[in-house]
Amino acid sequence: MRSSRPSKRLSRLGSNSGPGVAYHRTQSVRTVLNEGEDDEIECIGYKRSVLRVVLCYIGMIWTAGILWLIFYWRADWKLKCMAYQVCLSEATWVLIKDGYTQNHVSKVQRLTIDKDSGLTREDIKLMLRKDVLVNSHEFRFFRYQKLKYIWNPTDGVFSKLRALDDGVKSYEFFQQLQGLSEDEQRKRRFLYGENVINIRVRSYFVLLIQEVLNPFYVFQLFSVLLWFSDEYYYYASCIVIMSAGSIFISLVTTRKQSVMLRDMVASSHMVQISRSGEEFMVDEKKLVPGDVLVIPPNGCPMTCDAVLLTGNCIVNESMLTGESVPITKTPLPNNEQEANVIYSPEEHKRHTLYCGTQVIQTRYYGSELVKAVVVRTGFSTAKGTLVRAILYPKPMDIKLYRDALKFISVMFGIAAIGFIYTIIVLALQDATAREIVLKALDIITIAVPPALPAALTIGIVYAQNRLKRKSIYCISPSRINLCGTLDVVCFDKTGTLTEDGLDLMGVVPAENARFSKMVTNIQQLPFDNLLVAMTTCHSLTRIQGELNGDPLDVKMFDATNWTLEEPTETESSNFDMLMPTIVKPPGTVQNYNETVPNSDFKQVGTEVGIVRQFPFSSSLQRMSVITRTLGEDHMAVYSKGAPEKILSLCSTKSIPEDFHKMLVGYTKQGFRVLAIAWKPLDPSLQWHKALKVPRDDVENDLQLLGLLVMQNKLKPETTPVIKELIAAQIRIVMVTGDNMLTAVNVARKCGILQPHDRVIMVEALPPDGIKVENITWTYAETDIPPESPSQETSLNAIIVQMEANHKTNYHFAMGGKSFAAIRDHYPYLMPRFAVSGTVFARMSPNQKAQLVESLQELEYSVGMCGDGANDTGALKTAHAGISLSEAEASVASPFTSKIPNITCVPEVIREGRAALVTSFSMFKYMALYSVIQFVSVMILYSIQSNLGDFMFMYIDLCIITVVAIFMGRSEAYAKIVTRKPLSQLMTTPILASLILQITVQALVQTTAFFVLKLQSWFEPLVPNEEDYYANIKCYETTTIFLVSCFQYLIVAVAFSTGKPYTKPIYRNYLYSGALVVLTIFTTIVVLVPWDKLENLLELRSYPVYAFRGVIIGIAVGNLVISLLIEFGVVPRYWLKYILECMWCRETKPSRKFNAVEIEMENDPEWPPLEGASYPTVEHPAEAGEDNGNSSKELLSNQETQTGVNEKGDGVSSTQF
């Protein structure tokens, strides 16, 4: 799929450099590779400096390995420190920047062309169609995501190593039918490598090293060593045991996933190839581009991508497309007209056999073998691309994690203050240097919560398991949180909202440019061209006796009650040549001269052979067949497809005047309509010429035979789900490849469009030179005047009368052509259509992805639900892509549902919201945990005391760990409410909650400390200068410890949100039970003087029992205030208003799509009246100057004012 837009950084790079190769030659330090494609990257050349390398290694030694760790985490920093930028022609390393602002480093390698390779300069030039040798005996390349990029000294740029899928003309393949010699194979294998898809499974030792060097565990290791040095042996030992268990589980899980992926893609087969006219069996690993495969009659698994040259293949492509319907692959056209057409695996997919698919059986003519030429091998194949999508998934910029890192940096700042404070306090107390260092460093481990990143994922893990129990599988757990923020969900139609299969309602025959009444019983049709078209114009085949093919074709053929045979050579001898398929009516008529009454069709013979198929093409929107009826002296062509396409191929004399009225009548009722046409071919067209004739030569001047009317029923689950989403104010968009009118009707039936909503059909064409805006608007439900059959525009218009107030409840609907025209020629209108567009019909797979990207650029959080391969691009692009297919192609989608209906969408949203609010709650809890403990230690440091070993253990292991594990178990609330949860941490409610709670907890501890000092029996600590740890058992430490224990439990309760995103806290039985047990135990510790427990925790018993009640009273007061803040103060809008006034913040649209909505609301000319063109100016720029509020200008101003695009508030288009 071609990317619809490069990243902003790469766009700027291209704009400064000028187009194409000229840029590469003038700016040879850096270049853009794969421009305009999904994998577009920027490549910058570097060369190592000996001096810089030496200085860096010295720095690693001086910093005790800290610099080495930083370089390990950031390879791009290492490269920039050790190397300097040079021209790409001199580079030994390259820095690669992808479209998601991530950096990668790769070494430039040199491959020497020696005698062992057998290659010459001419061989390389012939294979690559360009000269890439540098010094006549070597070429330079680097690897990136399993692909090679070769240096081209002529153009001064690296380019992806391609095989026969780039720049090869069709006729060139037929010149290679004899196959490659063994010497040629060896040469190509030297260049392209073996045909393998290797998944590296790392050893446990390597995985262990990688896991231990994770920043989280490095900080944990630093903390543990510090605690051991500070004689916190028990606590440190428990942390070591817990970390070891976590690492062990991670290692086993990671290796298990790697082994599963390796086994999934592993392949070991022997294949038959043709070499110099002879057939040989070789290992699939030995295949190279240019080899000629011989496909056996009973089929075989495809281990490479190959273009079919002779014979037909029935292929199961469910691995790629998710559709189990076998597909017929036909040979690449071999005629003069298409000889010079450049082959493309995407455009010629009907002639391409893809790696990972299964050839079920082959069809061939006479003794001719079925042959295909290998075009791609290894990771370059279709299967290899899927595997690379798994290995290198699209990164998502999760705002929660980004804000969490900001918070950690703030805590580091607080820790630095505490670090300085500790040094000063302990120095004034004449502490030893060792003691000062240990205590100061310990402040860092207390203030900065090392477990925060892990804690944020706990809710996600629970949500993932709950989804799995509902047969919804997630391969990208970080996307679960994004599901909780969805603003819009895009749905495919066929197979997603509606049933996969179609029911045949009937056919409407057309004869003498007039329509007849619909025939619902197909078996009552006379034996004429319409019946023959229905029995032959399909791609059905028999596999093990069962009829297989497109469900629509199966329904159509079954309705005729004819039989389909794939005969032997003897059975088809009546046709002179072998026919791939023969169709017969029930009880073959032997009197070939009999004429059917009331029919102009002379029944020469009832057996019809299908000579050739022109497969269905989504770009052409039709399929055709060439047939020959037994006993006739000529062949005929039959075509079936989208009415507008078939209409454009028909003679105007055969088209009824009421064609459009008839078509609109059926499509408005939600029926799917196909047109059928035919024409007899010249008797001089012989069989061998028919196999080579271009389809354009026969698909013209056809005679319309009638309309095929199919009914596509909604799935019973569709309407309730749509209503639930709309009730939650989640916008619904339909994006389909089907007819516009059918799509609008289905949208109305399922509730996407309400009965009172108006639909505005938009038809956009490129500027024609006379008027700049070539856009027409049609309001629905008005009758459509008859128009010329050759005009497609009338088909894109249905419908509804305008109301007096035309600004309310309107929806735009447009087709794929209009969508492309608007994106290319009227981009200033694209934001408005993206905000108000509801039905997008006749959309190609690439356009579906482009629509998702357009929504993301407006800062929508976008979900996509689809079931077929044509949805893969959109599923990958969306924040939350949900596939209803279980095919391996679904690896492109973060979510896969085994339940083939859209009930999975609200489930994912519910769990996403629950996981998101749980992550926020966990974040706030871990933040308060760090602050509470930080305040405790700061107070105790002031009197030369600290918490004891078992005090830390009780807090961290018994309270914090239990809360962190069980808090995330809160299940999702059953109802999806209108109000969406907050999507980022840096918002007024969360910041207000944190600031107020931190203030309260600090004041409560300070209050308890001073209340203690006011007691008449209080004896202040007299520091023991010789034994610092003897200072732990004192009244001050005991009081601070007991109060803080209650605080950890209080904030846990306060941050347990409950409705409306999760079930109430008491429904989380383990969590609520743990809190009750811990509260009771802590209360017992306070109220019950138990010597053994007090000695274990190093508590000093109070001489007056009443003070124990004071501590309970302080805890209760703390609980009341904390709950009042969370449930009484923070949710109130007046607090947000006051804070915004204090911070002098202006009220402005929170996100870009809100700005567009305001703009449209304030535009008196929007939406345009029927037939109008908006805006009426000579140039789009003038519209912005005149109105002062164009979408582009308004969005630009908003981005400048709020800084949301790059600074964390919004979703940048480059981040997804």
d(CA 149, CA 855): 33
Q: Are 368 and 310 in contact (CB under 8 A)?
A: yes
Amino acid at 747: A
- Give me the helix-helix angle, 1035-1054 and 988-1013, nearest 10°: 150
3-state secondary structure 464-476: HHHHHHCCEEECC
Amino acid at 889: A
List, in sequence order, every beta strand (DSSP E) within 867-1022: 880-883, 895-897
As a dihedral over the C-alpha atoms of residue 1149, residue 1151, residue 1157, residue 1161, rounded to 10 degrees, the angle is 10
Q: Is the peptide bond before 289 cis (omega within 30 degrees of 0)?
A: no
DSSP string for 484-502: TT--EEEE-SBTTTB-SS-
d(CA 196, CA 475): 24
d(CA 1025, CA 1034): 15
| Cα separations in angstroms, 830 against 130, 302, 1210 | 41, 42, 19
Q: Which of 843, 644, 817 is nearest to 733 (CA)?
A: 843
Neighbours of 413 (CB within 10 A): 11
d(CA 139, CA 591): 72
Q: Is the peptide bond before 1060 cis (omega within 30 degrees of 0)?
A: yes
d(CA 922, CA 916): 10
CB-neighbour burial class of residue 555 (10 A; exposed 0-12, middle 13-18, buried 19+):
middle
Length of the chain: 1216
Question: Please, which residues have CB within 8 angstroms of residue 1049's CB and are 6 or more apart in sequence?
Answer: 959, 963, 1075, 1078, 1079, 1082
CB-neighbour burial class of residue 592 (10 A; exposed 0-12, middle 13-18, buried 19+):
middle
Q: Are 891 and 876 in contact (CB under 8 A)?
A: no
Neighbours of 1165 (CB within 10 A): 11
Question: Choosing from 305, 492, 553, 871, which is the catalytic residue?
Answer: 492
d(CA 424, CA 478): 43
Q: Which of 214, 406, 457, 399 is nearest to 964 (CA)?
A: 457
CB-neighbour burial class of residue 218 (10 A; exposed 0-12, middle 13-18, buried 19+):
middle
The yes-or-no answer on residue 487 being catalytic is no
> What is the H or E stretch that residue 1116 is in?
helix 1106-1124
Q: Are 167 and 342 in contact (CB under 8 A)?
A: yes
Maximum distance among all alpha carbons in the chain?
125
d(CA 838, CA 757): 11
Tokens found for residue 269? 């087969």
Question: Please, which residues have CB within 8 angstroms of residue 405's CB and are 6 or more apart in sequence?
Answer: none
- Give me the helix-helix angle, 399-428 and 433-447, nearest 10°: 160
Neighbours of 490 (CB within 10 A): 26
Q: Which of 376, 181, 164, 173 is nearest to 278 (CA)?
A: 181
Residues with active-site annotation: 492
